Each structure stands twice: as C-alpha cells, then as structure tokens.
Amino acid sequence: MDNTRFVDLLATGSRALGVTLGADVGPLLQRLMAELLKWNAKVNLTAITAPEEVLEKHFLDSLAVLPEVTGAASLLDLGAGAGFPGLPLKIVLPALGVTLVDTVGKKVAFIKAASASLGLQGVRGLHARAEGQPEVEGIPRAELLIARAFMDLPDWLALAPAYVEPGGRVVAMLGKAQTDAELEARAAERQLRVVSARAYRLPFSGAERQVVVFAKQ
C-alpha cells in the first residue's frame, strides 16, 4: 500500500468512526504497519496480513474506542497480542501510560521492539498470564483496563476487576452487540454497573462491534 492510499483510507475510516487524528498519527501508524508485516514474515504475530485489513481490523478497530479511553492516565491491555488496541491508542494519546500483557513471548518482543522503533515513551510490554493475582503476576493495576476479544464477556468480567485501580473502569471490546438487558445482567453477576455501551461498524467491511464500559458498584 503506498503512502497516499494509506493516508486516504486512514482519513476516511477515522471520519466514519467519528475519530479525530493529529497530523503525526498517520506516519507513526505506517511505521507500525511496516514493523508488523516485517516481523510477521518471520514469526506468526497475526493472521491478518493484507495492509488494508491491518489498517481497518487492527488500527481503526483500536482507534474506534478513543472516546472511551481519552482522559485516562494509565491503560492496561490484557491479551494484547501484537499490541492492539494498546499501541494505536498510545500513538494517538502520547501522555497515556500503557502496559501490554500477553502470554506469547514473541508478541511481547514485538511490542517492545515496535515501541522502541517508533520512539514511544511510557509503554511496557509484559510476558505474563493474567489469572486474577496482579501482585503475584507482576502486572500493575491501571485506571482503565481494556481487552479486545480476549475471552467471553462473563469470564472477562470475573477476571478484570482485580486489575483496576480504585475508581477505575473496565472496557470490553466485543463483536456483535449485546442487548442492554444482557449487559446489565452480566454486570450484576460481578457487582459491576454498565457505564456506557456503544455499537458501531468498521468503516470498510461493515463488521459489527460494541464497546462497553463497566465500573464497580
């Protein structure tokens, strides 16, 4: 994908999602894509390898939740994979402290290498397994906890509160939208409340998505 097409698709996609990006974001995302595809040719980081799909399903999908993330001081991305949504969110919100956790060492190695290559400050990649004991696991709590299709929602809501600072929030990035009643029921099972729920579609494929924010009662 040439630079012009990348810039055009990023602008079109972000407008469709209602997201405003600074002029410096595009070049950094292009560099992140180049690093991802270079690494992926040697080690399997992602099944999504077509540049247009990387742009939509990794970058734009990550940036779609900017309204839910903006204003937080710290973000913990559990099951971060190759760094999504944490790395694109960090690029757009440079003051955000980001910790990205995954159980696969080569993915954490990529996160560290890509962050260094892009000059991102305040990014930490952790090779760890989240099982509900953050102190034992060496995983820091954060103001905002996020995951993208990490596990089924009931399992996520059982695990997530242990990793959130007092007064913090849990963000779930889901596929097909669940009803308000379903979300309220899931939250009540874990003494949580639904702060917001927003359904949207990815701008090019039309794939359904939902982002839900939870807080402790």
Q: Cα–Cα distance between 183 and 45 in angstroms, integer?
A: 31
> What distance in Å separates the CA atoms of residue 31 and residue 169, rounded to the nearest whole number?
31
Side chain identity, residue 213:
V
The answer to whether 112 and 82 have CB atoms below 8 angstroms apart is no
Q: Annotation-wise, does 131 bind a ligand?
A: yes
Instruction: Give the span between the Cα atoms of 56 and 12, in whole angstroms.
Output: 11
Tell me if 189 is assigned to a ligand binding site. Answer: no
Residue 59 in tokens:
């970058």
**C-alpha span between 37 and 32 (Å, rounded):** 9
Identify the three-state secondary structure at position 37: helix
Q: Is 31 annotated as a binding residue?
A: no
Report helix, strand or coil for 74: strand
Longest distance between any two alpha carbons in the chain, whole Å: 49
CA–centroid distance for 77 within its chain: 6
Q: Which residue spans within 35-177 are E strands per DSSP? A: 74-78, 97-102, 123-127, 142-148, 164-174
User: What residue numbers does the annotated binding site cover?
Assistant: 79, 84, 130-131, 148
Binding residues for S-adenosyl-L-methionine: 79, 84, 130-131, 148
